[in-house]
Amino acid sequence: MMKPNKIKIWHFVLSIWTVIVIVRFTLLVKTAELMWYVFLLLFDDYDFLLSHLNFQMFDAGLSLLIMLMIPLLLSFSKIRNKYFNSGINFSKCFIVLLMYSFLLPSLITRVHPDLQKNISEIKLLHPFSIIYEIRLKSDGDSELKPIKEKFLTLKDEVILKEFIEGKIFVKNYTLEEHEYKINHNNKIILIPSDSIELIKSDIILFGTDEFGRDIFSRLIFGARISVFIGFMAVTISLILGLTLGYFASTGNPFISMTLNRLNDLFLSFPAIFLVILVLALFGNNLVSVIIVLGFSGWMSLYKIVSSEVAAIKQKDFFIASEKLGLNNYELLLKEILPVIMVPLTVNLVFQFSNVILVESALSFLGLGSGSQYPSWGAMIEKGQEYIYEAWWLIFIPGAVLVLTLLSFHNIAKEVNKFFNPKIT
């Protein structure tokens, strides 16, 4: 007999939340302040605000909101007991961490994924290497109104930047008679010590890549892209599979036969070939990758839905509710969906991990969502070039990818077991 697990999943969620709050407390306060200034500027100078609003601002506000919502949601015992009350294990913990990095990447890492820190010095550093950040003094004399000035400084502090002007990152430096000697872009330059605000050391957790970008930060932001693509593609295949399967089981024999033939056609052909064909011919970007992956995954869902619906139609409860006079819409929503939800959920989780796998393969082949987003597959592909110098370029994204797929696989198995206890 297994001992029931005392630690529940919501304990883990809450503890991660606490850690984030402790580590990023000042940042959260600043974000709240920034949001207050946005609110003030809304009435004060609308055009100025509009020129500064972007996705990252929205993201910062949203992450603050999510941070406030998490304990609030967990305090409702109904939600807590329904979704977060199962015992903890490794896969679930990993999924929770993945969801955190999907929702709040800018709170977990404070380095922009595309920030190139002084390429000549900081490229291909191994994990746990130490660098120094030299912050130069800036002469900030602006003639804006105080409220706008405050807004801009807060925005600078809250939002991650691709390029930082007043900071120089170096591996080491020497001090010679009030002048710091550093290597910047392959040139030795001297900086007088009175123009430096502070020097602090920094640890690079997972090393840097060939452009001096932080791998940890790219992994966290890459998780966001992977999970986003997974969710969207699975939603598209779910909608497609549901509607087509429903049509095949209700409509006339001609439609169902055509759909079955189409299903056979797609199954007797490697889906990745079609995906690559479409992406190469029509161009690859985030939207097209999502749509193509969504369309390439409807077959198994269609099979499940059409066979299950056909079976349900023979059942007494369905015939009874049909005779009671429910219309088609109500029949689908109230009688069919709850029954087919079980096999669908299991399939969807498998589908989700499959989409992440195919997406990484696509990025590996250079047909992913494009170079403007960090992606795990693309990181592994880059690592192939530097396999002799930098093992961490392959192993770290590879390990994260394998752990993600493993966790989803285990979760799907668990869901299956939960719904069909007879299966061992």
Partner 1 sequence: MTIEKLYLVLKRFLASLFILFLIVTLVFVLIRISPGEPTQKYLSPKLSPELAKEVQKSYNLDEPIIVQYFGFIRNMFTGNFGISYEYRMPVLKVISQHLPVTLTLAFFSIIIQLLLGYFFALFSVKRKNTLTDKFLRRASVVMYVTPGSVLGLILIFIFSVHFDLFPSGGFHSYFYDELSFPGQIKDIAAHLILPLLTLSLPGAALFFNYFRDGIEEVLQKDFVLYLKANGFSNKVIFRKHVLPNVLKPVLSVAGIELGFLLSGTLVTEVIFSLPGMGRLMISSILSRDFPLVIACAFVSAMFIILANFIFDIIKVKIDRRIWREILR
How many residues at the interface with partner 1, by CB under 8 A? Answer: 37
Q: Which residue number, 69 or 280, has a Cβ lying nearer to partner 1?
A: 280
Rounded-to-integer distance, Cα 209 and Cα 386, Å: 9
Q: What is the spatial order of strands in the sheet that 174-176 belongs to?
A: 174-176, 179-184, 187-192
Site for partner 1 in 320-359 (CB under 8 A): 353, 357
Q: In the bound complex, what is the minimum distance in angstroms from residue 380's beta carbon to partner 1?
A: 6
Q: Which residue number, 278 or 331, has a Cβ lying nearer to partner 1?
A: 278
Q: In the bound complex, what is the minimum distance in angstroms from residue 369's beta carbon to partner 1?
A: 16
- Identify the H or E element spanning 181: strand 179-184
Task: Find the Cα–Cα–Cα–Cα dihedral 257, 263, 269, 274, rounded to 10°.
Answer: 120
Residue 2 is classified by DSSP as: P
Asked if 385 is part of the footprint of partner 1 (rule: CB under 8 A), the reply reads: no
Q: Which residue number, 62 or 394, has a Cβ lying nearer to partner 1?
A: 394
Q: In the bound complex, what is the minimum distance in angstroms from residue 288's beta carbon to partner 1?
A: 12
Residue 335 is classified by DSSP as: I
Strand partners, 199: 134
Instruction: Show the site string, 241-280: x = touches partner 1 by CB under 8 A, - = not.
Output: --------------------x--xx--xxx-xx--xxx-x
Q: In the bound complex, what is the minimum distance in angstroms from residue 133's beta carbon to partner 1?
A: 32
Contact 170, 132 (CB under 8 A): yes
Q: Which residue number, 49 or 215, has a Cβ lying nearer to partner 1?
A: 215
Rounded-to-integer distance, Cα 37 and Cα 155, Å: 10
Q: Which residue number, 268 or 327, has a Cβ lying nearer to partner 1?
A: 268
Q: In the bound complex, what is the minimum distance in angstroms from residue 240's beta carbon to partner 1?
A: 17
Region of 38-46, 139-147, 319-327, 383-391 interacting with partner 1 (CB under 8 A): 383-391
Give, in order, the Cα–Cα distances in Å from 63 to each of 28, 70, 333: 9, 11, 34
Rounded-to-integer distance, Cα 7 and Cα 78, Å: 18
Among 199, 295, 398, 415, binds partner 1 (CB under 8 A): 398
Q: Which residue number, 261 or 315, has a Cβ lying nearer to partner 1?
A: 261
Region of 13-21, 118-126, 176-184, 380-388 interacting with partner 1 (CB under 8 A): 380-388
Give, in order, the Cα–Cα distances in Å from 340 to each of 166, 281, 311: 58, 37, 10
Q: In the bound complex, what is the minimum distance in angstroms from residue 361's beta carbon to partner 1?
A: 5
Quote the Cα angle for 70-231-95, to 5°: 50
Helix ranges (DSSP H) in 53-104 = 55-75, 77-83, 90-103
Q: Which residue number, 245 or 383, has a Cβ lying nearer to partner 1?
A: 383
Q: In the bound complex, what is the minimum distance in angstroms from residue 208's beta carbon to partner 1?
A: 19
Q: Tell which residue, 255, 277, 276, 259, has the closest CA to residue 267.
A: 259
Helix (H, G, I), strand (E, B) or coil at 349: helix
Q: Which residue number, 280 or 341, has a Cβ lying nearer to partner 1?
A: 280
Region of 118-126, 162-170, 315-323, 375-383 interacting with partner 1 (CB under 8 A): 375-383
Contact 291, 331 (CB under 8 A): no
Q: Which residue number, 106 or 407, has a Cβ lying nearer to partner 1?
A: 407
Long-range pairs, 384-387, Cβ under 8 A, ≥24: 385/210, 386/124, 386/210
Strands of 279-345, DSSP E: none
Among 207, 364, 374, 375, binds partner 1 (CB under 8 A): 364
Site for partner 1 in 401-420 (CB under 8 A): 401-402, 405-406, 409-410
Q: Which residue number, 29 or 267, has a Cβ lying nearer to partner 1?
A: 267
Positions that interact with partner 1 (CB under 8 A): 261, 264-265, 268-270, 272-273, 276-278, 280-282, 353, 357, 360-361, 364-365, 377, 380-381, 383-384, 387-388, 391, 394-395, 398, 401-402, 405-406, 409-410
